[in-house]
Amino acid sequence: MAKDGKNSLLSQYEPGEIIFNIRDKADSLFIIQKGQIRLFVPKGKGFVDLAILRSGEVIGEMAYFYEDAKVRSCSAVAVNKVELIEIPFSKFDKTIQGLNPWFKVIVNTLADRVRASNEKIKALESDSVGYHKGKRGEYSYFQNIDIVRALAHIYMILKAQGTVNGSLHKLEENKLKTFIVDIFGFKDTKFEEFIYLLESEGFLKKEAIPDEKGSFILVEDIDLLRKLFAFFNTQRLTEDKKKIIISYKCEEFLSRVLQKSMGSSDETMVIELNPILEEFKKEKFLFEVSDLEDAIKNKILDDPISDPDGKGLIVTANLERLNSLWPCISLTNAISRFNSSKRPKDY
């Protein structure tokens, strides 16, 4: 969190940064100036998502009306870059006290009704949006079926409803959300998080709508969404030992191979290991030749061999397969990192 130098009441938060946790002391409310905030309640090893709030909305105000406990009733985290104006309850109280008595009664009555409704909703909520089988390491905010559904819906809706300019497909984000959330029943919070994830990984872009609130969703290669859907759906139906899984370290090595092969039309390329290993060493990135095992198993790399010219170990890369699988590998690992970031700290 960063405070604005000119106005100490203006706070800025980075994506994924916690604004407050459930049961934290509450002595202020916030007005959202920019960005989106996810409200949730921890449940077991997962979470129950409550809502996504956007610019112009208020969070933290209900604690003001709780006479018996000035604590947060849920947790709040920034979905993307967020700017908040913080208003201490002491200042807010002066405003409330200055209201006409009859207006104060209305405000307090509405607050009581909202609080009662929230408690009923929480009592009826039985399913966490996350998933946990009871073993460590298996909690997932995004399950594989979530990814499959989201990619399929985004692809179909953009294909049917989007405007097309060459290879570019474009659609208002709110229209996309109406279909996915309101019609197909995808959770609001998961939609917002997944769109942000796709944007941060470069699979789509956002463009502000001139003179209006909201954004356009832009996809350069819509067939890539279809390919990603097919990959994740196949993974979902494949037994674990046969799934295509590439470790983060192996992924980093393959990214260096892609850099070296940029512009090449060859199907294969011989890669010297020593230069890449030296790069990793300078970057203090721990890497062993054994970390290539995932790529070898999935036929992206051949087994390393000694270079006949004495240049150390070399490995042959199947560039055609690497380029085909790379978007799937990068999104899979991005989702894995995202899921890890959602796990409770004591998990």
Residue ranges covered by each domain of the chain: 2-124, 144-239, 248-335
> Quick check: 140 pLDDT over 60?
yes
Q: Which of 182-191, 229-238, 331-340 has the lowest mean pLDDT?
A: 182-191
Q: Give the rounded percent of residues in the chain with a pLDDT score beyond 90.
A: 46
pLDDT in tens, 199-219: 999 999 999 888 777 899 999
Q: How far apart are CA 110 and CA 100, in angstroms?
A: 16
> Quick check: 125 pLDDT over 50?
no
Q: How many residues does the chain have?
A: 347
The conformational region for residue 214 under phi > 0 = left, psi -120 to 50 = alpha, else beta, is left
- Give SS3 for 45: coil
Please identify which residue in the block is written with the tokens 């208020």: 58
Q: How far apart are CA 15 and CA 296, in angstroms?
A: 35
Q: Is residue 179 a contact partner of residue 161, using CB atoms and an 8 Å limit?
A: yes
> Quick check: 5 pLDDT over 70?
no
The conformational region for residue 47 under phi > 0 = left, psi -120 to 50 = alpha, else beta, is beta
What is the torsional sign of CA 126, 127, 131, 133? positive
Query: If one looks up domain 144-239 in CATH, what number appears?
Result: 1.10.10.10
**Average confidence score pLDDT of the chain:** 84
> Quick check: 127 pLDDT over 60?
no
pLDDT of residue 273: 92
CATH number belonging to the domain at 2-124, selected among 2.60.120.10, 3.90.1150.10, 3.40.50.10490, 3.40.50.20:
2.60.120.10
> Quick check: 50 pLDDT over 70?
yes
The strands making up 75-78's β-sheet, listed across from edge to edge, are 18-20, 75-78, 36-43, 46-54
> Quick check: 131 pLDDT over 50?
no
- The predicted model gives 119-126 an average pLDDT of 50
pLDDT in tens, 225-237: 999 999 999 998 8
Q: Give whole-number Cα distances, 210 to 28, 35, 215, 270, 301, in Å.
A: 34, 17, 9, 49, 48
